[in-house]
Amino acid sequence: MARRRKGRSINGIVLLDKPLGGSSNQLLQKVRWLYKAQKAGHTGALDPLASGMLPLCLGEATKFSQFLLDAEKTYEVTAKLGVRTTTSDADGEVVEEKPVEVNEAQVNAACLAFLGKSKQIPSMFSALKYQGKPLYFYARQGIVIEREPRDIEVYELEVTRLALPYVDMRIKCSKGTYIRSIVDDLGQNLGCGAYVTRLHRTEVADYPTDKMVSLDTLIETQEALSEGEFEALDAYLIPMDTAVSRLPYILINDAERARFDNGQSVIGTSVTPLVQGKSYRVYHGEDTQGLFLGVGEAVLDPKDQGVAKNALYVNPKRRVVYGDEG
């Protein structure tokens, strides 16, 4: 018999407004404890010296965290020209200082040069994992780990304020993009060096900034509740299907839900014809206000449908288990 997890069977996403300092995992465990959730996971760590939006998945929402990990992110960053540090931020030791002999036009041109696709070597002071530990763990011990260049893309880059030696930017980029590396490269390209004085993540995928909640607010809310009450705390949760809101969807009936719940392929109604190999949200009901069942992939004539009909069905890939199911 499977061992029952301790805690509440609560599903949803908390858009935590991460403060400066502390690891993403420490904050995750704190939020999990506040909600008494059976399980929890984050959607990509923020470095200790970065703040801002950190989506935390509780319960069955953890099954869809990869979709947010793969999503684009938006940051507000302040760079200071004329100084280069070991960590490319204010936490590091100064290794080089040069006069800032550039004008606004040169800075703007150098910033805009980062738009588009490129290769980037992750910073040793990033949260990227190596053998289970973040790279900054090794960097603080003076250990350098070889890193492979990664494909990244900067979709948008706007210089929002220029008051030399300070440059404020808003950067929208692909997963795996290290803003500190961009700033360090910016300084090198301008011939004067640069480092990050402020880094704040404002967006992940389509999540709005105004839905973020601070850890202090969660703690204050939890402390004001009576023993066993969670309604006010749960009000901060965002539905777990928002993690996959960009996927098309299908709607299925009672009989097909029974099949989906048992891991079998299903057929339903969709706004547009199914496309083989594409992922779909699956709902039980007449619209997307119905019960979210998970995500499946369109496949041609799966074996569990019997005789081949040259038809597409949706095969379960990530299935939500509610309450005491499974």
Active site residues per annotation: 47
Contact yes or no for 41/189 (Cβ under 8 A): no
User: How far apart are the C-alpha atoms of 155 and 74, rounded to whole Å?
Assistant: 10
**Cβ neighbours, 10 Å, residue 298:** 20
User: How far apart are the C-alpha atoms of 15 and 207, rounded to whole Å?
Assistant: 8
DSSP state of 98: -
Which of 48, 70, 77 lies closest to 158, judged by CA?
Answer: 77
Q: Give the residue ranges of DSSP H helices in the chain.
A: 24-35, 65-69, 104-112, 135-139, 179-190, 215-223, 231-234, 254-261
Q: Half-sphere exposure of residue 194, counting CA atoms within 13 Å on the CB side?
A: 31
Which of 121, 45, 111 lies closest to 77, judged by CA?
Answer: 111
Contact yes or no for 125/47 (Cβ under 8 A): yes
Q: Whose structure tokens read 């496309």?
A: 275
Q: Name the β-bridge partners of 316.
A: 296
User: How far apart are the C-alpha atoms of 195 and 159, rounded to whole Å?
Assistant: 16
Per 3-state DSSP, the chain is made up of helix, strand and coil in percentages (nearest 5) of: 25, 35, 40
Which of 31, 26, 13 lies closest to 206, judged by CA?
Answer: 13
Contact yes or no for 304/262 (Cβ under 8 A): no
User: How far apart are the C-alpha atoms of 325 and 15, rounded to whole Å?
Assistant: 27
Give the max Cα distance, the chain. Answer: 75
